[in-house]
Amino acid sequence: MKAVSIGSDGQAYVENRPTPALTSPDDVLIRIAYSGVCGSDLPRIFHGGAHFYPITLGHEFSGHVVEAGSGVNHVKPGSPVACVPLLPCFQCEECERGYYSLCKRYNFVGSRQHGGNAEYIVVNKNNVFLLPDNVSLLQGAFFEPITVGLHALLLAGGCKDKHVTIIGAGTIGLLALQCANAMGAASVTAIDINDDKLDLALRLGASHVYNSKSESAEQIRESSLDRRFNQLLLETAGTPQTVELALNVAGPRAQVALVGTLHQDLTLSQTAFGLILRKELSILGSWMNYSAPWPGEEWRLAAELFTQKRIDLQPLIANIENPEGFAEKIMALKGKPMNGKLLMKINE
Ligand SMILES: [Zn+2]
Ligand SMILES: [Zn+2]
């Protein structure tokens, strides 16, 4: 089968590998349809951040079941599925409480084992989410990124009647924006430093947008005074500046959900720290996208939102490529901010 692999030299290339086969009754063989590149893959490609090389990445993919072991009940050959990349141990105390994202003994498809940038993959039955009838395979490849935002929104107790602010209008942010609207937010504000992304946010349902390069935190706060109570902010950009911006623009007693991972140290000024106290902010960390019962409410809600056509994916897609084009486009991501989702289409 064809697979797009990454070498330790940071090169993406198409290779031929034997098609994997089931080795356990709990295994499922999937013929992949769509597989996307995640921002979290970039360090694995360009900065030696993968667990081994050469590696086939890909944890955001969909496809059809070809073969299922005797211990698999929820899918059968022909079932359309999305990948649930985490495989927690299901035995530790964190797992017993349903805190699957916090499990310490886990496997992960597309980082600790080969992923979905290939024609076929074998995964455990718990890594397989059955797609409802009217959810497409293309939508299937977006379950992973959409559930990241949904996890944060659910940890915050939902967003009904809340004034939601999304900081960072990348894939995760623009998906979370649409989820917040669908989940009954009173308003949804997007903040970014890129006007094109903010235009997209408006098209996708943002009620207000601000460019934090041209508008200061004070200006943003001043112009949203009528929306200052009952706020939920989602920080998805993962930079020290945007974390501090979140604290600055937050209203009294706002919830600040931190979703983006930092790639450098964050030093908070005394004043910024004081804002947490003086505004009585609730700071909430959000990690991955799982809850009980496995894989979680996030995944069922994503299926519902896709079924109800509440999520527009087309504007979020930069390219859909065959394996050769996909490998080329991966190399073109080097040193640049991700601008829309790059996907491989291999079968359908
Ligand atoms: Zn991802
Ligand atoms: Zn565990």
Measure 159 CA to ligand 1 centroid, in angstroms: 23
CA of 95 relative to ligand 2 center, distance in Å: 4
Ligand nearest to the CA of 259: 1
- Stretch 249-258: mean pLDDT, rounded? 98
Instruction: Starting from the CA of residue 108, give the closest ligand.
Output: 1
**Average of per-residue pLDDT across 159-181:** 98
Q: What is the pLDDT of residue 337?
A: 82
pLDDT digits (tens, 9 = 90+) for 261-317: 998 999 999 999 999 999 999 999 999 999 999 999 999 999 999 999 999 999 999
pLDDT number for residue 43:
93
pLDDT at 176: 98
Q: Which ligand is nearest to the CA of 58?
A: 1
Q: Cα(219)–Cα(119) distance, rounded to whole angstroms?
A: 50
Share of the chain above pLDDT 70, in %: 100
Ligand nearest to the CA of 35: 1
Could you tell me the pTM of the whole model?
Answer: 0.96
By three-state DSSP, how is residue 67 classified?
A: strand
Closest CA to 110 of 143, 61, 175: 61
User: At 348, is the pLDDT very low, low, confident or very high (cuts 50, 70, 90)?
Assistant: low
Mean pLDDT of 224-231: 97
pLDDT over 70 (residue 101):
yes
User: Quick one: which ligand is closest to 175's CA?
Assistant: 1
Mean pLDDT to the nearest integer, 80-88: 98
C-alpha closest to that of 163 among 219, 249, 233, 216:
233
Q: How far is the CA of 101 from the centre of ligand 2 (A)?
A: 9
Q: Output the CA 147–ligand 1 centroid distance in Å.
A: 10
Q: Which ligand is closest to the CA of 42, given by its number? A: 1
Q: How far apart are the C-alpha atoms of 236 and 148, rounded to whole Å? A: 10
pLDDT at residue 336, rounded to an integer: 86
Are residues 272 and 244 in contact, defined by beta-carbon separation less than 8 angstroms? Answer: yes
Q: Give residue 54 CA to ligand 2 midpoint distance, Å.
A: 28
Residue 338 has pLDDT above 90, yes or no: no
How confident is the model over 309-336, as a mean pLDDT? Answer: 97
What pLDDT score does 273 carry?
97
Ligand nearest to the CA of 39: 1
Confidence bin at 347 (pLDDT 50/70/90)? confident
What lies within 8 Å, CB to CB, of 288 at 6+ separation is 86, 100, 101, 148, 151
- DSSP, res 341: E
What contacts 58, CB < 8 A, 6 or more positions away?
Answer: 4, 32, 35, 36, 37, 41, 109, 110, 115, 116, 117, 118, 344
**CA of residue 17 to ligand 2 center, whole Å:** 32
pLDDT tens for each residue of 108-133: 999 999 999 999 999 999 999 999 99
**Residue 202 C-alpha to ligand 1 middle, in angstroms?**
24
Strand partners, 67: 29
* Cα 60 to averaged position of ligand 1 atoms, centre (Å): 6
Q: pLDDT confidence of 173, banded at 50, 70, 90?
A: very high
- First-to-final CA distance of the chain: 15
Counting ligands in written order, the one closest to the CA of 44 is 1
Beta carbons of 167 and 236 less than 8 angstroms apart: yes
pLDDT of 203: 98
C-alpha–C-alpha distance, residues 64 and 174, integer Å: 27
Q: What is the mean pLDDT of residues 52-76?
A: 98
Ligand showing the shortest atom-to-Cα distance for residue 104? 2
Pick the closest to residue 282 from 164, 156, 149, 190 (CA basis): 156
Buried b (16+ CB within 10 A) or exposed e, 30-44: bbbbbbbbbbbbbeb
Ligand 1 centroid – CA 71 distance (Å): 28
Q: Which pLDDT belongs to residue 8?
A: 95
DSSP for 269-323, please give it: -HHHHHHHHHTT-EEEE--SS--SSTT-HHHHHHHHHHHTT----GGGEEEEE-H
pLDDT of 115 reads 98
23 vs 171: CA distance, rounded Å: 35
Give the pLDDT mean for 219-236: 97
CB atoms closer than 10 angstroms to residue 262 = 13
Which of the ligands is closest to the CA of residue 115?
Answer: 1
Give 213 Cα–ligand 1 centroid separation in angstroms. 27
- For the packed helices 297-307 and 171-182, what is the interaxial angle rounded to 10 degrees? 80
CA–centroid distance, residue 127 to ligand 2 (Å):
15
Q: Are 302 and 147 in contact (CB under 8 A)?
A: yes
The 8-class DSSP code of residue 89 comes to -
Q: Encode pLDDT of 4-36 as tens digits.
A: 999 999 999 999 999 999 999 999 999 999 999
